[in-house]
Structure 1
Amino acid sequence: MSHKPLSHPARPQPLLALGLAALALLLGLGSPAAEAQTQWKWRDASGKVLYSDLPPPANVPEKDILQRPPGKRAPVLVRPIAEAAPPATSPASAPAPKSASAPSRAEQERQARARQEQEQQARKQKDEERRVAEQRAENCKRATSHLRMLEDGMRISRRNEAGETEFLDERQRAEEAQRTRAIISSDCR
């Protein structure tokens, strides 16, 4: 059995070492470029999602900002101590009035309930409109089919009050066709 002597790995050549150094430099410089490509993402007042490399306008609420570039944190709002607690020197005095721009919790809850009721009413109205539209479409389909049978001259029968079968004569057929056309004109729009 012969043993081969272990060979030492070849040392990197100067050109290869220079290439690796240049690659490392490019990768190191690539991070700020990647950071510059990061985007802001927010929802505008109409609910549309927007993207930009600039921050959203100041009137966009904090809750509607969906994504920030790394390192851009949400602002922390700090309320001054004077507003947070009433002064201890006058316990009998009434609490300081809240600013008109900030509704109370009860007011916020009332507004939320009102919005929910409006949304529920809108859903009910939409469902009712859909149901009426489906009924009109069905009425239109039936009336169109019935008018076609009347105009084709097919013998049409119906039951009278006594439960007997009777066939429509020409006068009854004309009246039925006129009534059916009125249904078509109202329901087939």
Structure 2
Amino acid sequence: MKMHKLLLLAVACTWALGAAAQWQWIDKDGRKVFSDRPPPSDIPEKSILKQPSGAARTASLPANPPAAGDTPAPASAASQSQAGAKPAATGKDKELEEKKAQAEAAEAAKKKAEDEKVARAKTENCTRARQAKASLETGRPMMHNNAQGERVYMDEAARNAEIKRANEVIASDCAR
């Protein structure tokens, strides 16, 4: 009975060896790869560390093998079509691009609206500053509220300070 179990264990171990990776190579990123399939054709022979005994390296199998009735294309034509063709965009990529374009358009519209709002505010500030400057330059006595909230007549220094402030607003907000 012990011999039977030992034999069974030996057979199980040999089956496991058949499932082990038979190919070893170093990929383009410098990582060691173990596989039961041959490496891709872009891996140079010097990078192959181990291969099954008696097996010659062949090109990797295509992702979609041809059907029984199809005739395979020549290797040179297949490699040319793969090298020159870009991968087809999937539906998710199109949706992502559309959402990105919509977001960019919304951001541009928001920026344009903000710019228009700032332009209107500058125009209004310019108009008010010009009116205030014209009123101050008339020389008529003007009143303003002091720090205590009392109405007092504006002296010459206060008038010149207000004219200077109006000129600064005109310089910054009025288009020339």
TM-score, with length taken from structure 1 = 0.47
2:151 aligned partner, one-letter code:
T
> Residue deviations 1:95-117, cap 9 Å, x none?
xx9x6253111110110011001
> Residue deviations 1:57-85, cap 9 Å, x none?
xxxxxxxxxxxxxxxxxxxxxxxxxxxx9
Distance of 1:103 and 1:119 partners within structure 2: 22
Q: Give the corresponding residue for 2:141.
A: 155
How large is the RMSD of aligned CA atoms in angstroms? 2.2
Q: Residue 124 of structure 1 is aligned with which of 101, 110, 114?
A: 110
Secondary structure (helix, strand or coil) at the match of 1:166 reads strand
Q: Give the corresponding residue for 2:126.
A: 140
Distance of 2:94 and 2:156 partners within structure 1: 69
Closer/same/farther in 2, CA of residues 106 and 87 from structure 1, 3 Å limit? farther
Q: Residue 155 of structure 2 is aligned with which of 169, 179, 185?
A: 169
Distance of 1:132 and 1:86 partners within structure 2: 63
Specify the structure having the higher radius of gyration (Cα): 2
- Check if 1:188 corresponds to 2:170: no
Secondary structure (helix, strand or coil) at the match of 2:140 reads coil
Where structure 1 has 5 or more consecutive residues not aligned to the other structure, the ranges are 1-84, 90-96
Distance of 1:88 and 1:101 partners within structure 2: 22
Instruction: State the number of aligned residues.
Output: 97
Q: Give the corresponding residue for 1:57.
A: none
Distance of 1:167 and 1:87 partners within structure 2: 98
Where structure 2 has 5 or more consecutive residues not aligned to the other structure, the ranges are 1-63, 69-81
Distance of 1:86 and 1:132 partners within structure 2: 63
The 4+ residue runs of structure 1 with deviation greater than 3 A are 85-89
Q: Give the corresponding residue for 1:107.
A: 93
Deviation of 1:148 after TM superposition, in Å, equals 0.1
Closer/same/farther in 2, CA of residues 86 and 109 from structure 1, 3 Å limit? farther
Deviation of 1:154 after TM superposition, in Å, equals 2.4
Distance of 1:133 and 1:86 partners within structure 2: 64
Deviation of 1:163 after TM superposition, in Å, equals 1.3
